[in-house]
Every structure is written in C-alpha cells, then in structure tokens.
Structure 1
Amino acid sequence: MAPSTGIIGDQSPNAFDVVPVLDLKDGTVVHARAGKQARAGKRAEYRPIATPFAPPHDAQAIARALLGITFSPTLYIADLDAILGRGNNYELCQALADALPGVDLWIDAGFCNLDDCAFWLPLGATLVIGSETVQSLEDWKTIRDNFGANLVLSLDFDEQGLRGPKELMSDLDLWPQRVILMSLGRVGTETGPDFDLLRTAVTNARGHHVYVAGGVASYDDIRAVADAGARGVLVATALHSGAVGQNEIAALRGERRSQS
C-alpha cells in the first residue's frame, strides 16, 4: 500500500463517511459488547467476534464485508494488543493492507511517541493518535509536526472527560484536519452517540473534519450525526447485528450527494 498523502474519498461539502471498525487482538477480530462478559470500553475483555460475515480468524473476509456494506474508502483498525502494551498485530495489518489496495487504513496502535509511529510507517497507513496514550502536549506536537496530513487525532473521553492533555480539546490550533470524538464508555453499548460533545466540537471546528465513535446503534443515529455536521461516523456493532445495512447507507450517501 502506498503512503497516504492526505484525505481521500468524496470531498463534496455534504460528504459523509460511515467508517467500519475492525478490532484486532491475539491475531483475531474481536468485539466489545457491554454486559456480563465484557464491560464497555474494557479492551482486555473483548472477545472473538460473532458475525455473519466470516469466522473471527478471517480478518480479510470480515473487512471486505464491512467495506462493501459501507462503501467506505477507509477502514479503522484498532490493534488492542499494541494499545494494551502486550505485542502487536503488525503482520495481520500488513496482510490487510496487501489485500485491500486503495483502502486508507487508519491504524490505532497506542502511539505515544515518534518511535512508535516510525515502526508502523512501512504500512503506508494513516496513524490514529489517541489522546489517552499521548503523555504530554509536547509529545503530541512533535508527532503532529513530523507526520502532518498522515495523522488523525482521536480525542478519547470517559466519564471524567478527556483522557490526555486537556489543551487538545480547548485549542483547535492543535488539531490536524481529521479528528475523532471517541466516547470510550459507549463503545459496544448501542446507547447512542454523545451529541452534546459533537455539537460543541462542530460549532468550533473551523473546517476540521470531525468523526464520531462510540454508541452508534441505528441508521437514525448515523443520520443524526450527519445532520449535526460531522464528516463521518465509526461503526462496528450496528453493522454486524444488521441494524444498519448497505441499502440505508447507500440512500444516505445519495441524498447528501444530491444536496451538494
């Protein structure tokens, strides 16, 4: 896969992407589900995914199915082993990059410094830098200054607010063009996105592309996120359950394209 050179896909004013999410752990695709077996947002408790698309060890087949449903130019991959600091799934990510030419892989692997980022550069992927893993504002600035357009900043929120340097939410001059609002406590819960957080971010965004992650349960959720001014939404549970399908996403894309 060639190195990313910036934002790809539809750049019309009303463009909106439904970005599928693939969580990897121990070489398989896993999934967060709130309940007795896995508390939402607790990555160590994610279990092999149960999906109609393919077995959990067949990441390529699952990825192709998700991309087919969403028409997305982008696939978000969270390497939970790397985020948890217990190895990584680099070879599996490389296999996905080889199998999906033309797809912009967004890799979240717990990046906290330049060395972490440099290890993953041969993939030619876009690096997702989570605020929860950035140890200082200076570390973020160093990463941003070195990687620029090949970065996405994930602003990670829990019940106490933003994880990481607080300036990342208050000073938009620190943002790259693409920013994810990640509600960690809502992941796998299907309780709906944090619309208050989204409205605040979009109001101040000044041309930044804002994406929403966590809690998306239905087509109505996705449509509401789009209507609130986001550039896209990250989805996993609703795709695997069938709550959101290809026809609905195609209709939303066509409607927004006609408005441009």
Structure 2
Amino acid sequence: MAAFEVIPVVDLMKGQVVHARAGERATYRPLEGSTLCASAEPLEVVRGLLRLHPFRTLYIADLDAIQKRGDHKPLIRRLRTEFPALDLWVDAGFASLCDCRAYLKAGLGALVLGSESQSGLDTVSALCEEPQLVLSLDFRGEQPLGPSALFDQVALWPGRVIAMTLARVGAGRGPDRERLAQLKAAGAGRRIFAAGGVRDEADLAGLAADGCAGALIASCLHSGRVGREALERLAGPA
C-alpha cells in the first residue's frame, strides 16, 4: 500500500497566496503570520514549505480562474520551472475538454477537475482514464457542488479523488471523516484524498488509519501545528 501523503495547498488570488477560510472566497486575504515565510509571494511561500519538508506534491488552486476573473498561468509555469521536482496538482476551474487538453499538452502537472466547475459529465467522461487527471468532488456543507450524477457514477472517477469540504477549509473543525469513509467505500479502490478541516498531526494520523491516501493542508502548516517532526513521522521510513 502506498504511504499516506501530505500535500500542501497554495491558494492563488491576484498574484498572492491567500488564506482560504470556509470557502467564502470574497473574504480571503493575503497570507500573513506564517511560521514558514515572511510574505504572501507565491515563490517565497513554496520555498518556505520545502524548507519545512521535502514534499513531493503541491496543490495549486487558481481562485481567479475558478471564479472566471483572470488566471495565474504565467505564475504556474514559473512554479513548474522553479520547482521541477514537485508534482503540481492544479485546479484552475477547468471545464471544457479543449482547455483540459491544452493544459495537459503543456506538461505543467496533474489536472484537477473540480466538480463545482462542471455543467455536465462530458469532460470527465472523456478524460476519466487520463493518468494525469485528479477529480475533486466539492461539497459546501452537505450540498454537493456540480452535476449530481458525477457523485454517483463511480465508473467516471479516475484513480485519484479529492473530497473537498469547503466549509471546513481553514476553519479548524476537523476533517469530515464520515463523508470520507462513504467515498472510500464507494470508490472501489480509488485513492481518496481529504481536503478541509485538518487541524493537527492527530487528524492526519486518523485519516491515514481510515485508509485515506493523503490529505491537502495549509493552515496547520503555516501555524506550526503540523511541523517537521510530525511530517517525518507521517512519511515513515525513508
């Protein structure tokens, strides 16, 4: 079985890394008070994360693109160049098959297809066997975001699936382990990644014990609640 993977998150808005909280994007503000970096400048934030731990994967949410208010394509290309060893997972509000294929052709990393950005099943149906695809099943409270059929048609899910509980992002409420268990049971061998609510090492250890493949985290890294020693313990023997 693959080791549990901790994946740091970088949320981009207007050229800066912002502190995401409860999915209320209008209230997001530039990252401040981090124990890892002195500014919200994206390259500095990523350098701070890598000084903490040799993460293998970085999740990038281009919030401007998701909200159709511009995008961070040049910045994402620069991050790809500056940190070639990192496997980038990018959610940039991808919806059309044409845009997805163009992104995949560019070789910038894995494409995260967020359910909230989908109006139907055509794109995920066309790409479900693409090895560079990650599906994010997005929830606001109990409400699934996107086509309801996508949450039921497990045959369309790729090998990696994120359970994105937006109301818990940055809110310190703990992960939604009940929902994660449901998705893991339904997923027929897919690797399920938790996103939203992780507070500390105990939460991460609990998710690993539940059989999750990994977790996407940000706030607990910048606050220092999950530090170098905890990450080393979770990573296991080299």
* Alpha-carbon distance in structure 2 between the residues aligned to 1:149 and 1:73: 17
2:70 matches 1:87:
yes
2:211 matches 1:223:
no
The code of the aligned residue for 2:90 comes to I
Aligned position for 1:8: none
Q: Deviations over 1:62-90 (max 9, x none)?
A: 11222343432100000010011010011
Contact 1:76 1:105 in 2 (8 A): yes
Give the alignment of 1:157-236 within 5 angstroms: 157-236=139-218
Aligned position for 2:9: 21
Q: What is the alpha-carbon root mean square deviation over aligned residues?
A: 1.7
Does the residue aligned with 1:149 lie in a helix, a strand or coil? coil
The code of the aligned residue for 1:170 comes to D
Contact 1:20 1:70 in 2 (8 A): no
* Alpha-carbon distance in structure 1 between the residues aligned to 2:72 and 2:88: 14
2:97 matches 1:114:
yes
The code of the aligned residue for 2:15 comes to G
Contact 2:31 2:40 in 1 (8 A): no
Greater shift in the superposed pair: 69-78 or 177-186 = 69-78
Cα shift at 1:242? 0.4
Cα shift at 1:193? 0.5
* Alpha-carbon distance in structure 2 between the residues aligned to 1:73 and 1:200: 27
* Alpha-carbon distance in structure 2 between the residues aligned to 1:240 and 1:176: 31
* Alpha-carbon distance in structure 2 between the residues aligned to 1:70 and 1:169: 34
2:238 matches 1:250:
no
Aligned position for 1:99: 82
Aligned position for 1:134: 118
Does the residue aligned with 2:131 lie in a helix, a strand or coil? helix
Cα shift at 1:108? 0.5
The code of the aligned residue for 2:108 comes to G
Contact 2:77 2:108 in 1 (8 A): no
Aligned position for 2:55: 72
Q: In structure 2, do the counterparts of structure 1 residues 70 and 43 end up closer, same or farther at CA, with 3 Å as the change threshold? A: farther
Does the residue aligned with 1:86 lie in a helix, a strand or coil? coil
Q: In structure 2, do the counterparts of structure 1 residues 240 and 57 end up closer, same or farther at CA, with 3 Å as the change threshold? A: closer
Identity %: 42
Contact 1:113 1:143 in 2 (8 A): no
Does the residue aligned with 1:157 lie in a helix, a strand or coil? strand
The code of the aligned residue for 1:29 comes to V
Q: In structure 2, do the counterparts of structure 1 residues 92 and 59 end up closer, same or farther at CA, with 3 Å as the change threshold? A: same
* Alpha-carbon distance in structure 2 between the residues aligned to 1:233 and 1:136: 27
Contact 1:136 1:165 in 2 (8 A): yes
Contact 2:91 2:114 in 1 (8 A): yes
Cα shift at 1:46? 1.0
| Unpaired stretches in structure 2, ≥5 consecutive residues | none
| Unpaired stretches in structure 1, ≥5 consecutive residues | 1-12, 34-39
Greater shift in the superposed pair: 154-163 or 231-240 = 154-163
Contact 1:97 1:123 in 2 (8 A): no
Greater shift in the superposed pair: 120-129 or 224-233 = 120-129
Cα shift at 1:232? 0.3
Cα shift at 1:151? 0.6
